[in-house]
Structure 1
Amino acid sequence: MVEEYRVKYDSLRRDFIAKEAEIGELRTNVKRLQLERSNIPPDRLVSSFGDALEKMQIALSEKSTRVKYLVSDMEVELKTNVAFNDDKNEISYQLPKLDDTLPPENLSTIRFKIKMLPGEKVSGEEVFDYDEVPNLHYLTLDDAKYRITLKGFTVGEISYERTNRVEPGVVLSQIPSPFSLAAPKSPVDLTVAEPTLKLTKVPNLTSLSLEEAEKVLKSINLEKGKITERKSELLPNTVIKQSVKADEEVKIATVIDLVVAKEKEKPVDVKLTKVPNLTGLPLEEAEKVLKSINLEKGKITERKSELLPNTVIKQSIAANKEVKIGSTINIVIAAKQRKIDLRLKRSQASLRKANPRKTNKNVKAL
């Protein structure tokens, strides 16, 4: 137990000696800083920054730009050694150089803000005529335009930047910057968020039903296009082809046309009827028979025959054959007999008297 305490004591003693050495080194550095660095009174320190602020404003005013800027204030943060002068009874500051080895945490931090108040003139411009530019960040474009005009400024150039950090149509940045001062009617340029180009892979829709294919397209923000039907052995409304191949990358909202299986036509109930025997019937009667069993009379052709004129001597479809309702039957009928001219009869009579046999042959020929 005693041995453990002795070990701890020795360790603490070594740490104490090391800290004393660091404190001694720090005191040495502070003394060196006090000797090598001049003491800066507070009024001189602040006035130096004030001069710098005024020079920046003059530099901005000398440039010919369509927007007038005014540096309105400056925030300062300094690492310094704070010293107290007993003789003058005042505080002074000693600033380190860049090559100093003094750790920054050993110096005091001083923060102050210098604000430029409107005077009579700044580079020929009346400062009090300037107005503060509103903060337009993350407003919609319409809201930003409204605030710009409300404050007496004008809407300048509008550019777009693709990003997914914010909603599309939201202001990302502006010129002049928020809360800066600008002359009335000065243009305010805006940069607005624009959505990045999104791509998606086209799914394989073949063999899916049309309803399923529509759901798949909708789930990945693709649009159903033209639907065409085609004969197929697949079930009706089954997708058999798509306008864009599967796994191809396309833009969101791309239209995909589909070809689906056509619904099979129902078989027509064909009614048949037997063709009647029309031969030997007068044409008028044959027409009535055809009409009674829903058959159509077709082409009528005349031919010489020993039968009475207009008697059916032939039909295009044989009797008792089964045909579809509405079929057409062509008919051949006996031609009308020709009337022999009276003069021809007289001539034949004269010939008959002269040569009865020859005349009979001529008559038959006629």
Structure 2
Amino acid sequence: MSLKTLVGATIGGRYQIQRQIGGGGMALVYKAYDTVLARPVALKILRPQYACDEDFVLRFKREALSAARLQHENIIRIFDVGGDGDVYFIVMELQDGPTLKDLIRNKAPFPAPVAMEIAFQICQAVAHAHKRSIIHRDIKPHNIIVSPSGQVKVTDFGIARAITGSTLTRKGTIVGSVHYFSPEQARGDTASVQSDIYSIGVVIYEMMTGRVPFEGDSPFSIAMKHISEEPTRPRALNPEIPREVESIILKALKKDETERYRTAQELLQDIAAFLERERERTKGQDKVPVPALRDTISSVAEWVQDWRMDGGRFRDHGMSDYGESEIGSIRSGEFEMISDELDEERQGELTEDERGLPQGVGMDTRKAMPVGTQTRSKGKRWLTYGILALTFLVLAIVGYAVSQWLAYLNVPTLPVPNVVGKPLAEAEEILRDAGLGARVIGETYGNVPSGSVISQDPAAQENVKAGRVVDLVVSKGPELEQVPDLIGKTFSEADLILKSSNLDFGNLIYEYHPTAPVDTVIDQNPKPETWTTQGTLVDLKISKGPEPKPILIRSVIGVELDKAKSMLEEAGLVVGEVTEQESSEFEKGTIMDMNPKPGEEVQPGTKVNLVVSKGKSGQNQKEITVSVPLEGSEPVSVKVEVLDILGVHKAHEALHQPGDVFRVTVQWTGKEARVKVYFNDEFRAEQTVRSE
């Protein structure tokens, strides 16, 4: 199947391709329609030069399937990974919104609260992936989508790993985005969780300044700068950046991994702390120089709306010089492996107005900003006064610093109480009573009640200074899913729908149904459209089709085993257990008994158990006549014993009336045996019996 003929085709038996919406060096992206789940999706299809590489396709599938395990509100979900002939694809959540790169090109530099709120959501996605041992390896604005509601979505987790182990080159082609590489990736070392942290630092740097930390004439020269050069301090490019934010950026961009944030969660906590202080700072102010925190997402959503109204372009910043970026429609989250290098280099050719930077930003600010001059003193007296004042000021500062340091050293340490699982109000009270503070840094879904603490930092029993603030993450309760309507679906369709809804099937009950086709769902529990927690098992009742008519069992008794089997199978029955038993009545190898019995009505497919005759045994038998004497009127105890080569065994014992005459079958082993008769335990008669 040619990539040129994909539009209008159906691949994987369910995805109808509608139009191409993007493309990069590794794949093309199409908008498609999932005919099974009845929803639009983004379909990423490998280019032929990758699809013909078996090793690459295996790595591609493995990494995509690994990333499909990620379920988070800030991560683009992967629904399916598959192939159709020589076409290999990933099916993803479709998002109608720009990439963060689009917003940066047209809106940077961002106000600090807006940039840090976006960074907070990026870190949430990355931290979630890191907890599941998945490293992104290619964090960049092109792989970050902003939804119409302003929500941030990160895409392509782990996909970069499928391209190459070193992430730098593949047959001379630049792979990935060297502007966002960590130093260790630029050296060709293995990427770690801190590599993602460095890339996040680059993204924040670009949001706050409108430019990446390092630019150069070639990807190699840029990579070398990541390894050996320090970036220009962000505040030198944009003095509006708070010092606290600059510190966060520079720590994330440390060359030495040991000096960087250890985890995405650590970076997340510093960003959350800044946002919390910004919220407190702007509380109660009628006018603030930047959007209030509650409006940051609204501001981003408005930018996205501008983008959508112009058909994917901003009104106030033309992009005709670039055309459609090869990363294409960020609605699908297409990640670019080659083209963004040229794109980033061309960005360096933009003027400050084209980049959307304020006048003066991006120039040498040391020249743009006046440093002032000093005026000479007209007399020594004023010089003396100045020196004395400066001396007193220095002494005061030193004294204050020393007093504060001594006060800090005298602060007692105490163990942090365990508040995990406690309701938030109770947790705050416990920490307050212990002489500690409390700060909520985030909310997430969990298996503890809504409003209760899921995690704390520092951990319980850790010794800290009195007054230390303990960071808390609060539960939003179990994440709920709406149970889909499965009635009328085939079992395979129902299974797929349940898994895509974060549910699974439970008990399966198969029943006959007069109209429902075989293997279709006829009932379910919980019922459709009810809300339940993720992972809930849904019990299904599956149709076996119309109930078949009953079969009247014909007798096969006396028939040889092979013929009996054929007769039962022709009647639509199944031969069940076959056992053997000795018989003096039926020939060896013939059926002497069956169950169910002849004449019974059963369903098709019923098992019929058979008993096959082993023939006559080594025993002899004969009937003898016994006459009870006519003596008295009381019943008489009659006992018949047989003595053969095996010993004495009882053939009959019962009460009879005087004068009774009856027959007894006696069995013996050997040529002959003696039969003895007793009346009321008195020996009365004896007879010898012989085999015929």
Q: Tell me the TM-score normalized by structure 2.
A: 0.18
State which structure, 1 or 2, has the greater radius of gyration over its C-alpha atoms: 1
Q: Tell me the TM-score normalized by structure 1.
A: 0.30
